[in-house]
């Protein structure tokens, strides 16, 4: 299971990141192309995916592979600008007429549904479809449903079967008015409304997995045929253009055929040989083909960083990493350049927990607390001083490449530092349940986080003492630092629209975290944008959250 | 005969039952293998996990979970954990690729295996025999995934003579189907050709020394006629029996490695992927499906041989 | 799969086991005779020597690592350089391409993605592969002999129960059973009585492979024992007051021993192949420990740019398995020129 969550950005993040002096995350040209550029309209393109989407049901999908089609088929009340880089994180009205009005206490969100909308099957869209959609996501147990149940009033009662509807959502079909009441102020709630799982489906849609026959949605495209684990086809949704929703392009291609191939080697070769058009960005480009791709197809291949953090967690409640010096030694010794090579170049080295593209990323001008060039000798001395040398360490890792290679390297490094490290590789499917289980209580190992939405609070969920739990724990280092908790209590409720006012606070917090060496961060993932020569490479948008924007694909 | 069939049927049911229990248990011993934790996702609360556990019945005693799963399998509504799709639909979808592989490769390895075995036996001890023996042993000693990967690299990547894996349904494009199947057929066949030619060779050599063959020769029947009429016919019996079981095994998802290397999306590959995801229901169905074919075909073979050869008694 | 003794099952040559009793020219023991025949089979001896050479090489792995390559099997050298013909070259390039064979002490056969010395890993991996093959064969032979003899000797109820258990493993697709057990046990480890094995222990795949192959040896032995127990010398022992255990040990076992000897090389070859197959599907020897199988499966992804990662361990594996297969072929011919036990039928199991 590829757990790659996705998300959204708050308004003005673009301006803010630039203001904060961060290294630019991708190009900033906002290609908001609703038919503005002059490519060929129509035609068919073939997208290859090496990993099948988890579900083709908008209320269940939770991987990049399912988000790519979902966000252009099921438009939520709010969505994101179809643009590259940080401007792609800008929240825009989707099926709602405008961004939500938020009450002064941050607890009430009010939106109005656009008039005259219909689903791709002709059914009119009603305001009451919204609460139904949220109920459906909760009932079918969407992987991120805690974003609803933790914040929407009455949602957890509905989840627990104590209520037949969500008391906190009021929807008036006559006026189109939708009011949502929260239990606590949550700055990123507007981002939650923009999840593809918040993408509206008709009231009465069955409350079970409909991946074989996905429900109708409102969006530039619709599913026209689906064969689970084989592929699916998207065709243009003719009715969508009539709605004239600003900033949501209607798409160029008539048909997008998606084929699942479980072999990335052949996936990459077909795109290289122009037998297929798009290499899915969520797949790993086989390193063995890189030399060929870089020499033969450099004009249609790029590495695009996406807001994500790759790190080794260091359990602060257990020896040896309850010793600060032992943790510092790891941070000091880790060779980030080696990690980049293990990733075949699909990694940008960093020591900060908040990645580039996220408010609060300290940036390259700030010096890493334990340096950027590895110092094995100094690190060894530190381990000796700490008295933890010789401690047995079990290093946990995932099976798939290059994550296995990261852990192979890391285990060897720990042994060189003087620990007695042993590797424990677990199949991808059970990796996170295993290391997140209190019974395992792992000492150290691989971890990653890819934004649900570009808000620093989404990342600091993994450093929040309150998120330590007996199963599916995500605070792998078990950090429970009073200073971090205090800052989070202050910073988390800040509405997404005002994030820039606290950018420096986040940055200071992130530098504090790095200096405490709670984790050993080594990089941010970059993803392949790789097309055939049939498509216009320059005009295609690579969205920071939803990757290749299929509405921007056009034939040359 | 009736007694035989009844006995075989009972034994088949027992074996299938035991296999399903074994498969189910294998996945129960995995620490943190609780499917509810996986289905709930990384960001789930313990409450969500508990809720999923209740809805799916993972909180019930193991034997009850087993019974529920079996009931669902036989009523055709068994659902996988990972994508929550109907397992039988998936198998139906994957079966054409597996059947294509089994039938094509089965014919190739039977024909070539017999041909090489015959050649080897006729020329026993001479160069042809030696060469074929070495070839057969090389075939038997090479892992099929290595052979497949090397073949793909040279024949599909360097020289683009064949497609780089994948399956095209026969119904949608027959020439492309053939084009995509040739390499997998050959690669899967290599091993069997090696085995069959060796088995046939020794059977032939044995039979040639049997009394009735000597008698036939003594009666002045031509060598060619002796070989075809008496020797080959008898030596083929074990070969055909071998073949039917191997064929059954390949249909039942036994060709996992070939299917994976060539990305055929067959039943075996489905099983392998399900195992990797610890997705128990599909694994149980595929394993029972495969075992069913093996057991049934072995019984059928026995019956056929009993009919052909009056010396054999069915027990 | 399951075709091992389909000949026995099919009934036709079912009588074969019966005449596998002691038939030997007066004066010379069967093994002396076999040895004499084997000595004349130069090809089999040459391949046997090849296998032995590979075993010895692999046993010398620590010497090679310490004195020639100066690195261990799990030592990473990702960002280091190595001098090739006076020019410093990256062990692993910035885009992750490992260096090919240098034909020098360091990185003689190139490096892998983690900058580990392939030659060193090849030898250590061979040790692991052979160890898995050897232990698996030991497990198979021991258990299969016990099950086969007991089932064949007692017949009736005991035989019924054992035969059903064998059927169970036999009808289970081998590779599927292997990866199911491998995946499960790699996560959980095994506890058999007082012995607790960690999930990443080499003994886990060895044990799995050993168990999976039991029916393929046990069934022919059972068939043979069924015939043997009716022989006069068994009756004589029985009349002489020998208990069943004693009869099995001193009368039956020696008479199936030639079959067992014939099976050993074959099982080693099959176990090595099955280990490779399991590793290819992620259920074999666990990282970072190398084995030929894991090295091949890790290398396959990189064939187009770093062929050596696949071809070096691949060639080694094929040579080792071929060596022991040809040698085993010779042993069989020598022990039983008319080849009553159709061993090839078993060979296919490991790979498909």
pLDDT confidence bin for A123, thresholds 50/70/90: very high
Q: A383 in a domain, yes or no?
A: yes
Least confident stretch, A97-111, C219-233, C263-277: C219-233
pLDDT in tens, A439-472: 889 999 999 999 888 889 999 999 999 889 888 8
- Record: contact A228-B90, CB cut-off 8 A: yes
Do the domain assignments include residue A268?
Answer: yes
Residues in chain B, total: 315
Residue A88 CB contacts under 8 Å (≥ 6 apart), including other chains = A9, A80, A81, A82, A541, A543, A544, A545
pTM for the whole thing?
Answer: 0.87
Task: Chain B: give the shortest CA distance to residue A265, in Å.
Answer: 9
**B202: which chain C residues are within 8 Å (Cβ-Cβ)?**
339, 342
In-domain check, residue C50: no
Do A245 and A274 belong to one domain? no
Domain assignment of residue C45, yes or no: no
Specify the pLDDT at position A232: 95
Q: Measured between CA atoms, how close is B94 to chain C, in angstroms?
A: 17
The answer, for A471 touching chain B at a CB cutoff of 8 Å, is yes
Residue C222 lies in a domain: yes
Residues in chain A within 8 Å Cβ distance of C303:
288
The pLDDT of residue A335: 96
The DSSP secondary-structure symbol of C67 reads: I
For C305, which of A288, A401, A424 is closest by C-beta distance? A288
Residue C176 scores a pLDDT above 50: yes
Q: Given CB atoms, is A209 within the 8 Å cutoff of chain B?
A: yes
> Which chain C residues are within 8 Å of B154, Cβ to Cβ?
none
Supply the CATH number for residue A401's domain: 3.10.105.10
User: Are both A331 and A478 inside the same structural domain?
Assistant: yes
pLDDT above 90 covers what percent of chain C? Answer: 37
> Which residues of B fall below an 8 Å CB-CB distance to A?
30-34, 37-49, 51-52, 55, 82-86, 89-90, 93, 157, 164-166, 263, 265, 269, 273, 276-278
Give the model's pLDDT for residue B315: 54
Return the sign of the alpha-carbon dihedral for residues A186, A192, A194, A199. Answer: negative
Which residue from C minimizes the CA distance to A407? C288
- B162 or B215, higher pLDDT: B162
Predicted local confidence at residue A116, as pLDDT: 93
**Beta carbons of A427 and B276 less than 8 Å apart:** yes
On the question of pLDDT at C129 being above 70, the answer is: yes
Residue C105 lies in a domain: no
Q: How confident is the model at residue C338 (pLDDT cuts 50, 70, 90)?
A: low
Can you tell me the distance from the alpha carbon of B225 to that of A349, in angstroms, rounded to the nearest whole number? 77
What DSSP assignment string belongs to A511-531?
HHHHHHTSEEEEEEEEEEEEE
Three-state SS for C300?
helix
Same domain for A409 and A519: yes
Say whether both A149 and A273 belong to one domain.
Answer: no
In this predicted structure, the answer to whether residue A25 has a pLDDT above a threshold of 80 is: no
> How many angstroms away from the CA of A360 is the closest CA of chain B?
23
CATH number at residue C168: 1.10.3720.10
* DSSP code of residue A123: P
Same domain, A290 and A426: no
Are A428 and A508 members of one domain?
A: yes
The answer to whether C276 contacts B254, with C-beta atoms less than 8 Å apart, is no
Interatomic CA distance for residues C273 and A78, integer angstroms: 56
Helix, strand, or coil here: B3? helix
Nearest CA in chain C to B143: C351
Nearest alpha carbon to residue B43 among A152, A144, A452: A144
Q: For A345, which of C78, C79, C94 is closest by C-beta distance?
A: C94
Domain membership flag for residue C74 = no
Q: Which residue has the higher pLDDT, C272 or A263?
A: C272
- Reference C351, options B58, B142, B304; nearest CA is B142
Hey, are the CB atoms on C79 and A405 less than 8 Å from each other?
no
| Number of domains making up chain C | 1
pLDDT band at A379 (very low <50, low <70, confident <90, very high): very high
Contact of A309 with A376, CB cutoff 8 Å: no
CA distance A330 to chain C (A): 16
CATH of residue A139: 3.40.190.10
Paired tokens of C95: 């885009």
What domain range includes position A477?
308-527
Token pair in block for residue A201: 């489906």
**In the numeric block, which tokens belong to residue C157?**
């109820």
Other CB atoms closer than 10 Å to residue A10's CB: what's the count?
26
- Tell me, yes or no, whether C239 lies in a domain: yes
Cross-chain residue pair C78–A341, CB shorter than 8 Å = yes
Q: What are phi and psi of C111, to 5 degrees?
A: -120, 165
Name chain C contacts of B238, Cβ cutoff 8 Å: 6-7, 10, 12-13, 342
Domain residue limits at C233: 122-344
Answer whether A402 sits within 8 Å of C113, measured CB to CB: yes
Distance CA A555, CA B252 (A): 44
d(CA A297, CA A295): 6
Same domain, A162 and A109: yes
B238 has a chain C CB within 8 A of its CB: yes
Do A379 and A295 belong to one domain? no
Does residue A329 share a domain with residue A288?
no
Do A334 and A428 fall within a single domain? Answer: yes
The reply to whether residue B52 touches residue A141, judged by beta carbons under 8 angstroms, is yes
Which residue among C11, C167, C344 sits closest to B195, beta carbon to beta carbon? C344
Provide the strand spans (E) within A35-156.
44-49, 78-80, 91-93, 101-102, 108-112
Q: Among the three residues A249, A280, A301, which one is the final residue of a domain in this structure?
A: A301
* Same domain assignment for residues A232 and A316: no
Q: Taking a C-beta distance cutoff of 8 angstroms, is the pair A188, A458 a contact?
A: yes
Chain C partners of B117 at a C-beta cutoff of 8 Å?
none
Please state the length of chain A. Answer: 556
Decide if A549 is inside a domain. Answer: no
Cβ partners under 8 Å of residue B231, min gap 6? B204, B207, B208, B213
| Chain B, window 120-159: residues with a beta carbon less than 8 angstroms from a chain C beta carbon | 133-134, 137-138, 140-146, 149-150, 153, 157
A contacts of C280 (beta carbons < 8 Å): none
User: Between B31, B137, B195, which is nearest C326 by CB?
Assistant: B137
Name the closest residue on chain B to residue C325, using Cα atoms: B137
Q: Is A225 in CB contact (< 8 Å) with chain B?
A: no
Average pLDDT over residues C14-38: 57
Answer yes or no: is pLDDT of C350 > 50: no
Residue B276: closest C-alpha in chain A: A427
**C305 → chain A, closest CA residue:** A288
Domain annotation covers residue A187? yes
State which of A230, A245, A260 marks the end of a domain: A260
Residue A548 resides in a domain: no
CB B299 within 8 A of CB B13: no
User: Is-contact C187 A430, C-beta < 8 A?
Assistant: yes
User: Is the residue at A160 inside a domain?
Assistant: yes
Q: Is residue C35 part of a domain?
A: no
Dihedral of alpha carbons B260, B265, B266, B271, sign:
positive
- Quick check: A337 contacting C, CB < 8 Å? yes
Q: For residue C195, is pLDDT > 80? A: no
A61-71 pLDDT, tens per residue? 988 899 999 99
Does some domain include residue C301?
yes
Answer whether B283 touches C (CB < 8 Å). yes
Split at pLDDT 50, 70, 90, the class of C3 is: very low
pLDDT above 80 for B14: yes
The mean pLDDT value for B86-110 works out to 92
With tokens 């020394």, the residue in question is: B209
Which of C79, C186, C301 is opposite residue A265, by nearest beta carbon? C301
Domain count, chain A: 3
**A413 domain-assigned:** yes
Q: What is the pLDDT of residue B314?
A: 59
Question: What residues 138-167 of chain C have any CB closer than 8 A to a CB of chain B?
Answer: 164, 167
* Residues A135 and A184 occupy one common structural domain: yes
Predicted pLDDT at C131: 94
């Amino acid at each position: 299971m590829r757990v790659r969550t996705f998300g959204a950005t708050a308004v003005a993040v673009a301006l803010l990141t630039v203001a904060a002096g961060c290294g630019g995350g991708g190009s900033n040209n906002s290609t908001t192309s609703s038919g503005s550029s002059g490519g060929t309209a129509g035609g068919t393109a073939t997208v290859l995916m090496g990993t099948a989407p988890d579900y083709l049901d908008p209320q269940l999908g939770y991987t990049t592979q399912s988000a790519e089609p979902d966000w252009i088929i099921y438009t939520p009340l709010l969505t994101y600008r179809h643009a590259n880089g940080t401007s792609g994180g800008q929240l825009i009205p989707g099926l709602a007429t405008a961004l939500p009005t938020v009450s002064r206490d941050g607890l009430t969100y009010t939106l109005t549904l656009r008039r005259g909308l219909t689903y791709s099957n002709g059914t009119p869209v009603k305001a009451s479809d919204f609460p139904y959609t949220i109920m459906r996501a909760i009932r079918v147990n969407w992987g991120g449903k805690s974003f609803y149940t933790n914040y929407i009033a009455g949602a957890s009662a509905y989840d627990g079967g104590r209520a037949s509807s969500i008391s906190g959502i009021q929807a008036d079909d006559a006026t189109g008015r939708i009011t949502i009441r929260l239990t606590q102020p949550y700055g990123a709630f507007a981002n939650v409304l923009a999840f593809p799982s918040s993408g509206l489906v008709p009231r009465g849609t069955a409350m079970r997995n409909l991946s074989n026959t996905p429900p109708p949605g409102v969006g530039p495209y619709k599913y026209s045929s689906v064969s689970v684990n084989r592929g699916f086809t998207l065709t243009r949704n003719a009715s969508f253009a009539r709605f004239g929703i600003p900033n949501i392009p209607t798409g160029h291609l008539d048909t997008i055929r998606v084929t699942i191939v479980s072999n990335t080697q052949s996936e990459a070769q077909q795109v290289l040989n122009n037998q297929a058009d798009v290499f899915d960005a969520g797949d790993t480009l086989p390193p063995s083909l890189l030399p060929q791709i870089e020499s033969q197809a450099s004009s249609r291949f790029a590495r695009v960083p996406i807001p994500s953090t790759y790190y080794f967690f260091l359990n602060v409640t257990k020896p040896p990493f309850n010793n600060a010096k032992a943790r510092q030694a790891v941070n000091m010794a880790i060779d980030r350049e080696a990690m980049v090579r293990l990733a075949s170049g699909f990694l940008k080295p960093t020591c900060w927990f908040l990645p580039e593209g996220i408010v609060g990323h300290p940036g390259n001008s700030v010096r890493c607390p334990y340096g950027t060039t590895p110092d094995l000798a100094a690190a060894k001395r530190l381990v000796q001083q700490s008295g933890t040398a010789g401690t047995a360490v079990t290093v946990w890792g995932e099976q798939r490449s290059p994550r296995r290679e990261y852990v192979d390297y890391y285990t060897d490094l720990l042994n060189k530092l003087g620990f007695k490290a042993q590797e424990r590789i677990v199949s991808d499917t059970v990796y996170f349940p295993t290391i997140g289980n209190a019974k395992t209580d792992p000492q150290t190992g691989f971890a990653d986080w890819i934004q649900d939405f570009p808000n620093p609070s989404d990342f600091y969920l993994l450093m929040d003492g309150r998120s330590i739990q007996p199963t599916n724990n995500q605070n792998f280092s078990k950090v429970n630092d009073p200073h971090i908790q205090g800052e989070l209590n202050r910073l988390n409720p800040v509405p997404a629209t005002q994030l820039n006012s606290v950018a420096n606070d986040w940055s200071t917090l992130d530098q504090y975290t790095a200096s405490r060496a709670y984790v050993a961060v080594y990089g941010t993932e970059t993803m392949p944008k790789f097309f055939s020569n049939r498509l216009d490479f320059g005009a295609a948008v690579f969205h920071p959250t939803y990757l290749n924007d299929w509405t921007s694909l056009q034939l040359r | 005969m009736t007694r035989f069939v009844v006995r075989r049927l009972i034994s088949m049911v027992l074996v299938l039952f035991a296999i399903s229990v074994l498969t189910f248990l294998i996945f129960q011993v995995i620490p943190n293998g609780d499917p509810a934790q996986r289905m709930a996702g990384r960001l789930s609360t313990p409450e969500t996990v508990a809720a999923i556990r209740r809805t799916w019945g993972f909180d019930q005693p193991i034997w009850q979970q087993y019974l529920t799963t079996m009931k669902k399998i036989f009523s055709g509504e068994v659902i996988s954990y990972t994508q929550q799709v109907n397992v039988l639909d998936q198998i139906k979808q994957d079966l054409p690729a597996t059947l294509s592989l089994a039938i094509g490769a089965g014919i190739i390895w039977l024909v070539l295996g017999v041909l090489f075995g015959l050649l080897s036996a006729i020329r026993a001890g001479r160069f042809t025999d030696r060469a074929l023996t070495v070839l057969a042993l090389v075939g038997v000693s090479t892992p099929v995934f290595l052979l497949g990967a090397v073949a793909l690299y040279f024949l599909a990547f360097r020289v683009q003579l064949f497609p780089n894996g994948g399956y095209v349904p026969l119904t949608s494009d027959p020439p492309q189907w053939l084009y995509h199947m040739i390499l997998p057929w050959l690669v899967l066949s290599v091993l069997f050709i090696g085995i069959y030619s060796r088995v046939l060779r020794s059977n032939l050599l044995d039979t040639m020394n049997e009394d009735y063959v000597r008698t036939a020769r003594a009666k002045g029947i031509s060598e060619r006629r002796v070989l075809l009429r008496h020797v080959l016919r008898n030596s083929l019996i074990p070969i055909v029996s071998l073949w039917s079981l191997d064929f059954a095994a390949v249909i039942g998802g036994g060709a996992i490695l070939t299917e994976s290397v060539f990305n055929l999306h067959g039943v075996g590959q489905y099983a392998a992927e399900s195992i990797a995801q610890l997705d128990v229901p599909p694994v149980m169905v595929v394993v029972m499906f495969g075992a069913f074919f093996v057991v049934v075909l072995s019984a059928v073979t026995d019956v056929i041989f009993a009919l052909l050869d009056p010396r054999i008694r069915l027990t | 799969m399951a075709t091992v003794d389909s000949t026995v099952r099919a009934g036709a040559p079912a009588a074969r086991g019966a005449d596998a009793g002691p038939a030997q020219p007066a004066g010379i023991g069967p093994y002396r005779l076999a040895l004499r025949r084997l000595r004349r089979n130069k090809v089999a001896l040459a391949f046997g020597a090849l296998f032995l050479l590979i075993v010895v090489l692999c046993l010398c792995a620590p010497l090679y690592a310490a004195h020639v390559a100066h690195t261990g099997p799990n030592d990473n050298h990702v960002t280091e350089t190595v001098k090739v013909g006076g020019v410093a070259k990256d062990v692993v390039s910035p885009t992750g391409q490992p260096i090919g064979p240098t034909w020098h002490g360091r990185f003689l056969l190139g490096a892998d993605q983690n900058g580990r010395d392939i030659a060193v890993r090849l030898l250590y991996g061979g040790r692991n592969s052979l160890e898995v093959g050897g232990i698996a064969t030991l497990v198979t032979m021991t258990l299969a002999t016990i099950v086969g003899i007991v089932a064949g000797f007692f017949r009736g109820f005991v035989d019924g129960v054992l035969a059903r258990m064998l059927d169970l493993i036999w009808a289970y697709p081998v590779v599927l059973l292997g990866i199911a057990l491998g995946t499960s046990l790699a996560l959980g480890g095994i506890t058999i009585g007082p012995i607790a094995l960690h999930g990443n222990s080499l003994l886990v795949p060895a044990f799995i492979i050993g168990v999976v192959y039991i029916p393929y040896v046990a069934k022919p032995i059972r068939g043979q024992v069924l015939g043997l127990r009716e022989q006069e010398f068994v009756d004589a022992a029985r009349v002489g007051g020998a208990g069943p255990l004693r009869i099995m040990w001193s009368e039956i076992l020696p008479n199936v021993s030639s079959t067992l000897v014939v099976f050993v090389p074959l099982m080693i070859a099959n176990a090595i192949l099955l280990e490779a197959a399991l590793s290819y599907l992620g259920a074999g020897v666990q990282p970072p420990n190398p084995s030929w199988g894991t090295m091949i499966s890790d290398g396959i992804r990189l064939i187009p740019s770093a062929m050596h990662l696949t071809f070096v361990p691949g060639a080694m594996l094929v040579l080792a398995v071929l060596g022991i297969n040809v040698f085993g072929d010779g042993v069989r011919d020598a022990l039983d020129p008319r080849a009553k036990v159709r061993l090839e039928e078993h060979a296919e199991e490991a790979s498909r």
